[in-house]
Chains A and B, each alone.
Chain A
Amino acid sequence: MSSAIRIRDLVKRYGTTTAVDGISLEVEEGCLYAFLGPNGAGKSTTINCTCSLLAYDSGSIEVCGHVVGREDDAVRHAIGVVFQESMLDPILTVRENLATRGALYGIRGRTFAARLAEVAATTEIEEILDRRYGRLSGGQRRRADIARGLVHTPRVLFLDEPTTGLDPQTRARVWASVRSLQKTSGTTVFLTTHYMEEANHADFAAIIDHGRIVASDTPANLRLAHSRDVLRLIPHDAVALRSWLDAHGTAYREKAGVFSVLVGSSLAALPLIREAEPLLSGFEMVQGSMDDVFMSITGRDIREDKEEES
């Protein structure tokens, strides 16, 4: 399997601050790769360097075998970029916007018309093609932005915080678009997000903090290694369960009559449930989240970071 993106020891400094501090990563072709981390961790800087927008201090970046910084033209043909902010012209229609951008890649006339039909279908923007970009809703704009990123059939699509600021329903829809384009066209997708739970949609995730990658694996493996599931027990008789748990030396937290017990995995909870069954009226398993993963790796809650910055 060849790599769509290969980054080696990337370092980017702004004056005395080191925004990216020796990042190395490899993204397989056709993969959906999520780059996770709090704001200011170095996600956007890494993306900007990889997209040939920003010169880097040391290390090397290859996109589809082309060296960024030396073969920028080839890199730019191979990539599509969806920026965090809207970049299309508000007073032009979506179609006009896409036509202008397409022309920059030499896509015009009939080729463009055919391509437009394809990307419009993938991103579900057929009905809004002739509306002015500036009059669209946030979610519609985002889908038009993604269509722009796809207009030249790039091999790698970068999305910088594609779901930030969108409502949950729209976020789900954007994810569905991204997933379907990755599945149907085999486009490699590299995206950043600070919504940890969104990483579950990815094939592979890297967690970045203070300019370094602190963990990278499949989301399932990350959860397995760094988060624990929670077993919630609902008792008939709270007093009986409490003494039972105490007798067994099991640590628990009690809240509103529900007892939470940390377990290694769902399976590890089975013996406990069986033994305590007579005392229970019900139970549920809560799977470890990506938020837990971030917290256990960095020792901080990702949301705390956001509070500090805003």
Chain B
Amino acid sequence: MKEVTALVRRNMRLFFRDRASVFFSLLSVLIIILLYALFLAKMQVNGITEAIRNAGLVPDEDAIRFFVDSWIMGGILATGTVTTSLGAIGILVDDRHRGAARDFQVSPVRRSQLVAGYLLSTFLVSLVMSLIAFVIAEAYIVLSGGELLSLSGMLGTVGVLSLCILAFSALMCFLATFMKTPGAFGSFSTVVGTLLGFFMGIYVPIGVLPESIQVFMKVLPFNSAAVLLRQQFMTKPLALVFTGVPESFSTWYKEFYGVTMSLGDTAIPQWAILAFIGSFGAVFFLLAVLRLSRKIGSK
């Protein structure tokens, strides 16, 4: 076990000491925040304001702003769980490329300990980075006039973040075993970072997209992660925006913004989404362990 601790410490040091890798793994989060603050926020706020006015009600602009901020931040945190896992597992690709893996192999450390070292450090790095992103997100919401998340909301967020990070770091560890060079891995990261915003319904609400695309997004776990986080973030703003609004109206809006998720006419309960991500993570955890054991210690 102490061997694993030493490996985890080493992997985490490698990640956090390389300022560039820290920055770039947060970069996608920062880019989306910037895009959002500059362009996307206004569009969403206007859209909702108009819809409420059309329904014959008086819109509360501050509440709507809070609503949209919380929506985007929930989504951004979800992308963060993926991109930071990806950033952290770059160490594995480097080790295999540089040959450090061979150096480990001539020492009496067990493959399982190496695998545990990579998985654990990826999880921890991603958790630390996601918590940093969480703080930034909350600061953004509060600074633009919203409210701080309740304690239960915060705990819920940390819980959901942990689950998502477990699942996605397992997935990324698995995928990283296919990347032979840091160059290939870098390109892969770029592709993931670009597509992720769409798969999670960050740039535009999922409801805007065609039905077939929506179904595709829903069967992948990425959107589900965003849904779970939005549920934590949006309890309060939903209540503020939709007080006195007919329930059918708010139900439609929740679905449109990806705060709830249904397939066909069946609403999918929160526990089912949690179970979905959990089992997705479990499958890829096993696959990652298998692949890593084969790839790290292969003679």
A residues apposed to B, CB below 8 Å: 51-55, 73, 76-77, 79, 81, 83, 85, 87-89, 91-92, 96, 99-101, 103-106, 108, 148, 152
Q: How far is the CA of A96 from the CA of B12 in the complex (A)?
A: 12
* Contact among B6, B18, B100, B102 with A91 in the assembled complex (CB-CB below 8 Å): B18
Decide yes or no whether B103 CB sits under 8 A from chain A. yes
> Is A87's CB under 8 angstroms from B10's CB?
no
B10 touches A105 (CB 8 A): no
User: Given A92-B17, A100-B10, A104-B108: A83 and B299 within 8 A (CB)?
Assistant: no
* Docked complex Cα distance between A108 and B10 (Å): 14
The answer on a CB contact under 8 Å between B10 and A81 is no
Which of A87, A91, A104 makes the CB contact (< 8 A) with B14?
Answer: A91
Q: What are 17 A-B contacts defined by CB distance under 8 Å?
A: A53-B105, A76-B106, A76-B108, A81-B103, A83-B99, A87-B100, A89-B100, A91-B17, A92-B10, A92-B13, A92-B14, A100-B6, A103-B3, A103-B5, A104-B109, A105-B107, A105-B108
The verdict on A104 contacting B107 (CB below 8 Å), with A53-B299, A89-B10, A92-B10 known, is yes
Q: Let me know if B98 is at the binding interface, CB within 8 A.
A: yes
A268 to B56: give the CA distance in the assembly, Å.
118
Q: Mark B1-17, 1 if CB is under 8 A from A, else 0.
A: 01101110110011001
- B104's nearest neighbour on chain A, judged by CB, is A104
How many chain-B residues does the 8 Å CB contact rule pick out? 23
Q: Is the CB of B107 within 8 A of A87?
A: no
B106 in complex: contacting residue of A55, A79, A106, CB < 8 Å: A79
Cα separation A51 to B102 with both chains bound (whole Å): 10
In the complex, residue of chain B having the shortest beta-carbon distance to the beta carbon of A91 = B17
**CB distance A53 to B108 under 8 Å?**
no
- The answer to whether A100 touches B102, judged by C-beta atoms less than 8 angstroms apart, is no
Q: How far is the CA of A52 from the CA of B104 in the complex (A)?
A: 12
- Looking at B5, B6, B108, B299, the one whose CB has the most chain A CB atoms below 10 A away is B108
**Complex Cα spacing A103 to B98, Å:** 21
List the A residue with the shortest CB-CB distance to B298.
A55
By a CB distance below 8 angstroms, the chain A residues around B17 are: 91-92
B106 touches A51 (CB 8 A): yes
Assembled-state Cα–Cα distance A101/B100 (Å): 11
A76 CA to B107 CA in the complex, in Å? Answer: 5
Bound state CA distance, A92 and B103, in angstroms? 16
- B6 partner, pick from A51, A54, A104, A152, beta carbons under 8 A: A104
Residues of A within 8 A of B103 (CB): 81, 83, 87-88, 101, 148
Contact B102 A96 (CB under 8 A): no
Contact B106 A96 (CB under 8 A): no
Closest chain A residue to B21, Cβ basis? A91
Please report whether the interface of chain B is mostly helix, strand, loop or mixed according to DSSP. helix
CB distance from A289 to the nearest CB of B (A): 33
CA distance A73 to B18 in the complex (A): 33
- Provide the bound-state CA to CA distance between A85 and B99, in Å: 8
Give every chain B residue within 8 A of A53 (Cβ-Cβ). Answer: 102, 105-106, 299
* Residues from chain A with Cβ under 8 Å of B3 in the complex: 103-104, 106
Q: Select which of B14, B18, B104, B108 is within 8 A of A77 by beta carbon.
A: B108
Chain A contacts of B104 at CB under 8 A? Answer: 104
Residues of chain B in range 60-113 having any CB-CB distance to chain A below 8 Å: 98-100, 102-109
Task: Using CB atoms, name the residue of chain A closest to B98.
Answer: A87
Interface centre among B3, B103, B109 (most CB of A within 10 A): B103
**10 A-B pairs with the lowest CB-CB distances in the bound complex, closest first:** A103-B6, A87-B103, A76-B108, A104-B107, A100-B10, A55-B299, A104-B109, A81-B106, A91-B17, A51-B106
List of A residues within 8 angstroms of B98 by Cβ: 85, 87
Q: A73-B108, A89-B10 are in contact. List 7 more A-B contacts (CB 8 A).
A: A51-B106, A76-B106, A92-B13, A100-B6, A104-B104, A104-B109, A148-B103
Q: Chain A nearest CB: distance from B29 CB in Å?
A: 23
Bound CA span A100–B99, Å: 16
Interface residues of B in 155-204 (CB under 8 A from A): none
User: Cα distance A54–B298 when bound, in Å?
Assistant: 9
- The answer for the CA separation of A77 and B299 in the assembled complex, in Å, is 18
Q: CB-CB < 8 A to A101: which residues of B? A: 103, 107
Q: How many Å lie between the Cα of A88 and that of B102 in the bound state?
A: 11
Please, how many angstroms separate the alpha-carbon atoms of A106 and B107 in the complex?
11
Name the residue of chain A whose CB is nearest to the CB of B17: A91
Q: Which residue of B lies closest to A55 (CB)?
A: B299
Query: Is A100 in contact with B106, judged by CB distance below 8 angstroms?
Result: no
CB distance from B103 to the nearest CB of A (A): 4
How long is the Cα–Cα vector from A144 to B101 in the complex, in angstroms? Answer: 18
What chain B residues lie within 8 Å of A100 (beta carbons)? 6-7, 9-10
Expressed in whole angstroms, the minimum distance between the Cβ of A103 and any Cβ of chain B is 3
Q: In the bound complex, how far is the Cα of B113 from the Cα of A76, in angstroms?
A: 15
Q: How far is the CB of B84 from chain A (nearest CB, A)?
A: 19
CA gap between A210 and B283 in the complex, in Å: 48
**How far does the alpha carbon of A103 sit from the alpha carbon of B107 in the complex, in Å?**
10
